[in-house]
Structure 1
């Protein structure tokens, strides 16, 4: 009997990358939706994941907590699919770079903005939050330049790199950071969110409380 991977997440969180990748790759996962933030709203979750973060993927002995890594894993666990660029393909380096770029460079200032300007704005840190908003907007230049001549980031097709970077643009719209997002990237986001795989992922997560 094949045991499905289990994905712990909160609706609309970074875990959406993993839910989305599973839908696009046709990988069946058991979805465990948690209240946000789980470390406080579901303290029993700390027994499974001491970090208290989402997502968490458990697949046999494998335990993963990084959303971009989980998305890549789901796209390749049973062999490379079109969702990933394999070693030897011309855009392999770009695929690796943009997949890591999503969190290391783009999502990071978003999370600081959210903390200062949304979650803890009563502490008087809103100015710091807005400084990180400008940082986020400036860091979109690499995506904007890459997409000037192509529909997707790598390999002339939709890949995990689009899922990972696209989530940051989706989050920007949700948390009030859309003002500085270039029109070309908004159009790119619209192409991504029109995908049936994305719609299925959102529908699956809709049973849980939103993360923001």
Structure 2
């Protein structure tokens, strides 16, 4: 849970409710860790020298945990899973291969395919070998096939990889960047029933309303 006024908290979460910070918020709620939140408005504050010392890219989310900075949503999810083992979100040995494979598939080929399609970037047949996702349809088909095999990406158990992959799927079918296939809809529905997801969404919805002009 966020402890906004606790300056002694060992974990600080830099975010904006209208950002990918929603992924990290969900992950933090899954861990049950205490954290201090710092809301970073878009514009000057996100590009200000003080925040650029945290993330030189000038983007959220980011966390500082015991003086160590972690950026990039997939990395933050994996890091938190390791740092808070009692939450049982890190992979067991038999789950490690799928956990890493699909975590990085979503962070790499899948996100690139979705973003390029949203930006109307056209990749010719000849250029497909130059991009990690090949084609948008191929990336979508591969993920759908995986989610048809098991309830979660690392097998039968929810892990931190599902926070990241699941966020792509939930947002994708909500905003039309992924098709509403049964595999995606069933997976998303399963994840959205989690208490931590509901808590995180409620926090960011409330913050978003408060920040409206």
Q: TM > 0.5 between the two?
A: yes
Q: 1:39 to 1:52 in 2, by over 3 A?
A: farther
- Name the counterpart of 1:111: 115
Q: Which has the higher contact order (CA 8 A, sep 6+)?
A: 1
By how many angstroms is 1:14 displaced? 2.2
Which among 3, 10, 34 is matched to residue 4 of structure 1?
10
Q: Is the 8 A contact 1:137 1:181 kept in 2?
A: no
Q: 1:161 to 1:105 in 2, by over 3 A?
A: same
> Any unmatched runs of 5+ in structure 2?
1-6, 125-133
- Name the counterpart of 1:82: 88
The size of the alignment, in residue pairs, is 193
Q: 1:105 to 1:22 in 2, by over 3 A?
A: same
- Name the counterpart of 1:120: none
- Name the counterpart of 1:72: 78
Distance 1:20 1:137 in 2: 28
Distance 1:91 1:208 in 2: 36
Q: 1:176 to 1:130 in 2, by over 3 A?
A: farther
Q: Is the 8 A contact 2:12 2:35 kept in 1?
A: yes
Aligned-partner SS, 1:157: coil
**TM-score with structure 1 setting the length:** 0.78
Aligned-partner SS, 2:76: helix
Distance 1:96 1:113 in 2: 25
Q: 1:145 to 1:16 in 2, by over 3 A?
A: same
Q: CA RMSD in A?
A: 2.8
Distance 1:137 1:190 in 2: 23
> Any unmatched runs of 5+ in structure 1?
117-126
By how many angstroms is 1:47 displaced? 4.6
Equivalence map 1:1-212=2 (5 Å): 3-35=9-41, 38=42, 40=44, 42-44=46-48, 45-79=51-85, 81-86=87-92, 89-114=93-118, 116=119, 127-128=120-121, 135-178=135-178, 180-209=179-208
Aligned-partner SS, 1:11: coil
Alpha-carbon displacement from aligned partner over 1:3-56 (angstroms, at most 9, x marks no partner): 231111122532222111111111122222233xx3556433335422111111
Aligned-partner SS, 1:197: helix
Distance 1:194 1:145 in 2: 22
